[in-house]
Amino acid sequence: MGRYFAIRIGRAALTIVLVVTFAFVVLRLSGDPALMILGPEAPPEVLAAFRKAWGLDDPIWAQYFDYFGAIAKGELGRSMRDGRPAIELVLERIPATLALTLPAFFFKVALGIPAGIYAALHRGSGIDRAVMMTAVAGFTVPSFVLALVLVLVFAVQLGWLPSGGQDSWRHAILPIATLSLGGAAVLARFTRSAMLEVLGQPYIRTASAKGVPWRKVVTSHALPNAAIPTVTILGFMVGTLIAGAVVVESVFAWPGVGRLLVVAVANRDLAVVQCILLLVAITMVTSNLIVDFLYGFLDPRLRSKGAHA
Amino acid sequence: MQPLVSIADLRVAFNGVPVLRGVDIALQKGEALGLVGESGSGKSVTWLAALGLLPRQAKVAGSVLLDGRQILGAPAAELDQVRGGRIAMIFQDPASALNPVLTIRRQLSEALALHRDLSGETVKAEARRLLDLVGIPDAARRLSAYPHEFSGGQVQRIMIAMALAGNPDLLIADEPTTALDATIQAQILELLSSIRREMGMAMVLISHDLGVVAENCDRVAVMYAGRIVEQAPSHQLFADPVHPYAQGLIGALPPLDGPRRRLTAIPGTVPDPAHMPAGCAFAPRCALAEEPCGLAAPTLVPIANERSVACVRAEASRRALLRIAAE
Amino acid sequence: MNAPLVAVSAISRSYSMRSGMFGRAAAVHAVDGVSLTIPRGETLGLVGESGSGKSTTGRIVLGLEPPDHGEVRFDGKPMAAPGTATWRAQRARMQMIFQDPLGALDRRLPVGTQIREPLDIHGLGTPGEREERVRELLRDVELTPAHGARYPGALSGGQRQRIVLAQALATKPDFLVCDEPVSALDVSIQAQVVNLLCDLQAQLSLTLLFISHDLRVVRQISNVVAVMYLGRIVEIGLADDLFAQPEHPYTQALVSASPAPGRRSAGRIVLAGDPPNPAARPNGCAFHPRCPRAIARCAQEVPVLSAVGGNRQVACHLVTGAATRDAA
């Protein structure tokens, strides 16, 4: 068992290193932070001093090793804009993001999974077609379009809800709705196809042939098997709890991690960007690890083989 | 004597395409009936339809009586009592016929709880007895294993144990050994016939393999394109098949000893169910076909004690045979 | 007597396989010291159950896999190293057909184009000649040129297997390895394809290695039949009398397990035990745990394949020479 975990944890660590490296390279290559932060009119001596202070003069590999050395010591750098520790800036935004993404996650699951199961069990019916059309619409429409439509209807036309900001719980309704609808659509489609796949398996016919009532065939034979692929997509959704709301936070002017990221990228505030990316990579990788272990729990076949996958 | 099961004019269509076109079968208690035919002949569909196991889009018509009671279109609760309790079924691909995420114990106990009113320790003891009965070594320990931990032959044994859990009067074995190696096939067939003898259970053995059916059944029905074309006691069918298709099937089988001869292959292929020829479905491939064959589909007509054939030409040849016998 | 087209001497092949998540890697001897010769224009049948190594033997003979030990000689010369020009020239003279024709064909191309493909690859003939050759090949496998325009999905299983056969014959090979070519087909169609294979072999003087689990089909098409069990040949002899008078207890069980119309199952030899597992090969004679006649010696000593009279060779301690034959 140890070997199985070790391989997966090692792979997870490697993923994080690669993500951080990628971010480091792309950001350093795409513009001079000193110019971006101080502006083009800044005197050359000021620019030089800024670069020296932040180590931007060093060769890129030296900056890279310094950066990793610091991470290893738990130092994630300071914001180049206001000098505060990047981690502090990021952490204080997390509750705001979770206030959107956690309820949205709940609604996605509560809407998407039952809708998918229902559609699969009533394949070809009017309800199945309605669910699937909604689902297709739900994930083909980009979230910013959906967000704008919701704003137009509920904020501008009807005037029921605010169009942006974070002053009351009513401000959270539209962002949460935007996030939930898209995710529920993806989940519904995924659950439906997983269910259909399982319902077509010979063991479902075996269960019916031995006289198991249909309701029990679905609950005790089909669902446990359909859960296996569905867990993958759920894991992915858990992984996006921190950074999955970038677009929605921007549209609704919601001061979460996503909006911080957009601002930090625009300003080349390297430490903040890297800190967020590191956090995102860690949550993604952790949720993938959890999914791997859940697989082992749900599927006895993986417990005894598949170690070399 | 009232037959155990009697199927009359059973018809099945998928999306308007008929795949079963009027099947009649009467099965006595304790009898072993073989159903042979090539893929698409409707031999499996017959029993899936009879037990209401076909997907919803299948249109099923006709009559299926179990001890004189109509089970076709019966309410779900009644069908659930029949399935597994009176008529059990085992399938071709043992590897995918058991639920991969449930232990053998759970899958066996489920059947026991449904049909035998057992609970607690008695379920466990009975599950163990059934595994012993079908020859799974170390049954007590193996109960907590999952299907993938067994070989194909063992899984088929477990399927048989599960089918026996409800003490059925009839076991439908749908290609039970097709996916297995020859020596394992022999084991499973042996197990099936010894269990059948002990329990006095009737069996329908569905197979594409004439040899398998001939060796293990009292009576054989040959199916072609959704109909039964010939029915006879098995030794008679193989000694002197009357329907040209039955003759063709036997001629197409290479002999295992004696002189080698060129195989008498049936030309052409099975007709597409969506474009069935008029009249006898076999006529386009039949060497004996004449004009009347294309006019109307022949019905199954008795030609001797316990023998019947659906062929215009066979009736003619039978008359000729009787004339010779009379002289 | 002419030299054999294919001569296989003592080939072995093992894989390393891990069993389960915590299992240790174990060597699986898929093929273990197999020797075969196939005279020009003849058919050697290879029978066995899953795990017997018959398909691996076929792949090694074709040069698709190198043997760990032993040698395959084709037309008197050893098989060249894969990728070399000599190897390519040798490979053009040998082809393979498999059980699943749909897997071997590209669903998005008309089958005629797929038959022509090997001609295009090897640059054989002008485009006009290639078209003519495709028509000729379709005729050879008893299809019409109209079939060439169809896609694999629009053909029946038997027709697809004919297309695969036509494709294999395009380069005019001398040697064909057929791995369960008719196992997926219905009996009536199977007979058509078997007859066709026999006709083509006679017409084109093909040499065949015919691999199947079906004793009847193998006997129908082969001159000589070899029976494999867990990577070794346990019995080899002329097709006409091997199954009529099997000597090795395993062959006897196989023959007995092959159902025959008009016979009841009484008196059948039913082997105990599970199918053999190549990863856990028993010591001595690999068949001894399931053998109804095994003696103490069988568990210790590996029996060698030796002549027992006639054209028969058997690897069994209990079958030795003519004396035992008469007694059996």
Interface predicted TM-score (ipTM): 0.87
| Number of other residues whose CB lies within 10 A of the CB of residue C177 | 26
Domain at C4-18+26-93+173-325, CATH from 3.40.50.1370, 1.10.150.570, 3.40.50.300, 3.40.50.2300: 3.40.50.300
Percent helix, strand and coil across chain B, each to the nearest 5: 40, 20, 40
Cβ-contact B200, B232 below 8 angstroms: no
| pLDDT range class, residue B327, cuts 50, 70, 90 | low
Q: Cβ contact (<8 Å) for B53 and A203?
A: no
Q: In what order do the strands lie in the sheet with B170-174?
A: B87-90, B170-174, B202-207, B32-36, B219-224, B227-233, B307-309, B301-304
Q: What is the pLDDT of residues A168-179, one digit of tens each?
A: 777 778 888 888
Contacts with B105 from chain A: Cβ below 8 Å: none
Beta bridge mates, C287: none
**Average pLDDT score over chain A:** 82
Residue A121 phi/psi, 5-degree rounding, is -70, -25
CA gap B22, A69 in Å, rounded: 80
Question: Which pLDDT value is given to residue C25?
Answer: 65
Contacts with B80 from chain A: Cβ below 8 Å: 211-213
**Average pLDDT score over chain B:** 89
Q: What percent of chain A clears pLDDT 90, i.e. is strictly above it? A: 18
Contacts with A124 from chain B: Cβ below 8 Å: 57
Interface of B with A in 270-309 (CB under 8 A): none
**Of residues A205, A209, A211, nearest to B81 (C-beta):** A211
CA gap C24, A212 in Å, rounded: 41
Q: What is the pLDDT of residues B49-102, one digit of tens each?
A: 999 999 888 999 999 999 999 999 899 999 999 999 999 999 988 788 999 999
Q: What is the pLDDT of residues A106-162, one digit of tens each?
A: 999 999 999 999 999 998 888 889 888 888 887 788 878 888 888 788 877 777 877
- Which residue of chain C has the CA closest to A306? C21
Question: Which pLDDT value is given to residue B10?
Answer: 96
Residue A305 has pLDDT above 90, yes or no: no
Classified as helix, coil or strand, B23 is: strand
Q: Cβ contact (<8 Å) for C195 and B265?
A: yes
Question: Which pLDDT value is given to residue C215?
Answer: 92
Residues of A with a Cβ under 8 Å from any C Cβ are 1, 3-4, 303-308
Task: Using CB atoms within 10 Å of the CB of residue C165, give its burial: 0 to 12 exposed, 13 to 18 middle, 19+ buried.
Answer: buried
For A85, which DSSP code? B
Beta bridge mates, B25: B7
User: Which candidate in B183, B230, B247, B264 is best for mutational testing of the C interface (most C CBs within 10 A)?
Assistant: B183
Higher per-residue pLDDT: A76 or B310: B310
Torsion of CA A252, A255, A258, A262, to 10 degrees: 90
A155-159, B136-140, B182-186, B258-262: least confident range: A155-159
Partners for C (CB, 8 Å, 3+ pairs)? Answer: A, B
Residue A98 phi/psi, 5-degree rounding, is -60, -30
Contacts with C191 from chain B: Cβ below 8 Å: 251-254, 263-266
**Of residues C198, C240, C268, nearest to B186 (C-beta):** C268
CA gap B302, C316 in Å, rounded: 53
Q: What is the C-alpha radius of gyration for chain A, rounded to an integer number of angstroms?
A: 24
- Which residue of chain C has the CA closest to B245? C188
User: Which candidate in C16, C17, C18, C21 is best for mutational testing of the A interface (most A CBs within 10 A)?
Assistant: C21
Q: Cβ contact (<8 Å) for B102 and A210?
A: no
CB pairs under 8 A between A and C: 16
Residue A308 has pLDDT above 60, yes or no: no
A140/B contact by beta carbon, under 8 A: no
Walk along chain C (328 residues) and give the pLDDT tens digit of each residue. 567 899 999 999 988 766 544 455 677 888 999 999 999 999 999 999 888 899 999 999 988 888 999 999 998 888 887 778 888 888 888 988 887 777 788 888 999 999 998 888 877 788 888 899 999 999 988 888 889 899 988 888 888 989 999 988 988 899 999 998 888 888 888 899 999 999 999 999 999 999 999 999 999 999 999 999 999 999 999 998 899 899 999 999 999 888 776 655 556 778 887 777 788 888 899 999 999 899 999 999 999 999 988 889 999 999 875 444 443 3
3-state DSSP of chain C:
CCCEEEEEEEEEEEEEEECCCCCCEEEEEEEEEEEEEEECCCEEEEECCCCCCHHHHHHHHCCCCCCCEEEEEECCEECCCCCCHHHHHHHHCEEEECCCHHHHCCCCCCHHHHHHHHHHHHCCCCHHHHHHHHHHHHHHCCCCHHHHCCCHHHCCHHHHHHHHHHHHHCCCCCEEEEECCCCCCCHHHHHHHHHHHHHHHHHHCCEEEEEECCHHHHHHHCCEEEEEECCEEEEEEEHHHHCCCCCCHHHHHHHHHCCCCCCCCCCCCCCCCCCCCCCCCCCCCCCHHHCCCCCHHHHCCCCCCEECCCCCEECCCCCCHHHHHHHC
Cβ-contact B90, B172 below 8 angstroms: yes
Cβ-contact A297, C11 below 8 angstroms: no
Q: β-strands C207-212, C175-179: how paired?
A: parallel
Element (H, E) at A195: helix A170-199
CA gap B262, A309 in Å, rounded: 49
Contacts with A23 (C-beta within 8 Å, 6 or more apart), sequence order: A273, A274, A277
Comparing CA positions, the residue from A190, A96, A200, A95 lying closest to residue A138 is A190
Question: Which pLDDT value is given to residue C219?
Answer: 93
User: In Å, how far is A302's CA from the nearest CA of chain C?
Assistant: 8
Pair of tokens at residue C280: 């856990």
CA gap A265, A282 in Å, rounded: 19
Residue A69 has pLDDT above 50, yes or no: yes
Q: What angle do CA C263, C267, C269 make, to 5 degrees?
A: 110
Comparing CA positions, the residue from B140, B130, B79 lying closest to residue B108 is B130
Cβ-contact C214, C183 below 8 angstroms: yes
Q: What is the largest CA-CA distance in chain A?
A: 85
| Number of other residues whose CB lies within 10 A of the CB of residue B251 | 18
| pLDDT range class, residue A309, cuts 50, 70, 90 | very low
Q: What is the pLDDT of residues A20-37, one digit of tens each?
A: 788 777 767 766 777 777
CA A123 to chain centre: 30
Q: Cβ contact (<8 Å) for C262 and B235?
A: yes
Beta bridge mates, C211: C46, C179
Comparing CA positions, the residue from B223, B170, B202, B175 lying closest to residue B23 is B223
Question: Which pLDDT value is given to residue A224?
Answer: 92
Question: Which pLDDT value is given to residue A306?
Answer: 41
CA gap B170, B85 in Å, rounded: 9
User: In Å, how far is A128's CA from the nearest CA of chain B?
Assistant: 15
Domain layout of chain C by residue ranges: 4-18+26-93+173-325, 104-172
Contacts with C59 (C-beta within 8 Å, 6 or more apart), sequence order: C65
Contacts with C105 (C-beta within 8 Å, 6 or more apart), sequence order: C111, C114, C152, C160, C163, C164
CA gap C261, B32 in Å, rounded: 16
Model pTM? Answer: 0.84
Comparing CA positions, the residue from B78, B146, B161, B75 lying closest to residue B106 is B146
Cβ-contact B7, B50 below 8 angstroms: yes
Instruction: Please state at what angle helix A170-199 crosses helix A86-121, rounded to 10 degrees.
Output: 50
Contacts with B262 from chain C: Cβ below 8 Å: 195, 198
Contacts with C260 from chain B: Cβ below 8 Å: 211, 214-215, 256
Comparing CA positions, the residue from C158, C127, C141, C162 lying closest to residue C204 is C141
CA gap B184, B151 in Å, rounded: 10
CA gap C115, C222 in Å, rounded: 26
Question: Which pLDDT value is given to residue A30?
Answer: 66
CA gap B135, C127 in Å, rounded: 63
Average pLDDT over residues B104-132: 90
A215/B contact by beta carbon, under 8 A: no
Pair of tokens at residue A18: 């690669």
Question: Which pLDDT value is given to residue B117?
Answer: 81
Contacts with A303 from chain C: Cβ below 8 Å: 21
Interface of C with A in 3-32 (CB under 8 A): 18, 20-22
**Of residues B76, B98, B148, nearest to A213 (C-beta):** B76
Contacts with A3 from chain C: Cβ below 8 Å: 21-22
| Number of other residues whose CB lies within 10 A of the CB of residue A118 | 17
| Number of other residues whose CB lies within 10 A of the CB of residue C124 | 16
Question: Which pLDDT value is given to residue C24?
Answer: 58
User: In Å, how far is A198's CA from the nearest CA of chain B?
Assistant: 10
Question: Which pLDDT value is given to residue B305?
Answer: 85
Q: Cβ contact (<8 Å) for C22 and A307?
A: yes
Q: What is the largest CA-CA distance in chain C?
A: 68
Beta bridge mates, C225: C45, C237
